Amino acid sequence: MDVWSLLSGGEASSNVTGYSGGGVLIRCKYDKKYTSNSKYFCKGSRPNCDDLIKTGEKNKWVNKGRFSLIDKTSSAEFLVMIRELTVKDFGTYQCAVDISSRTDIYTPVELMIHEGEGYRSQGWAKVETGPKHNSSTWLGNMTGKQ
């Protein structure tokens, strides 16, 4: 049996749910005036979150361990993929734009991880964040007990 899920997040932060062993794709929107700035994804609360992946590269996937990031300047967004999720990945993350002369711009993302016997992920979770998205969207499927 396939089950399709759609989850909505709050205004203050975006929420996404992933499944142990699966992955998530997080879409982080930013203002077009920041297309030349570096982008990064970190875990924890701002401004002291731990950088997981950061790049100044444009329109090219950058990989670091289980994390990948691409800054798509034409659409003023960057995508972050997290693979091989575990329950330890649960928590608060930040989509961030590096601003050299001021405080960086952060958009919080709350990642919840489900782990359970009989369920396995078949697909990717997706969340959209940023100035034009006050709520998140997650679309994926999972297969129940066989």
Mean pLDDT, residues 62-81 taken together: 97
Higher pLDDT, 145 or 123: 123
Residue 8 scores a pLDDT above 70: no
Cα–Cα separations (whole angstroms), residue 145 to 29, 49, 115: 36, 37, 13
This prediction's pTM: 0.74
Which CATH class for the 2-143 domain?
Answer: mainly beta
Q: How far apart are CA 62 and CA 44, in angstroms?
A: 21
CB count in 10 Å sphere of residue 98: 14
Higher pLDDT, 127 or 26: 26
**What's residue 115's pLDDT?**
83
Q: Which residues contact 57 (CB under 8 A, 6 or more apart)?
A: 71
128 band by pLDDT with thresholds 50, 70 and 90: low
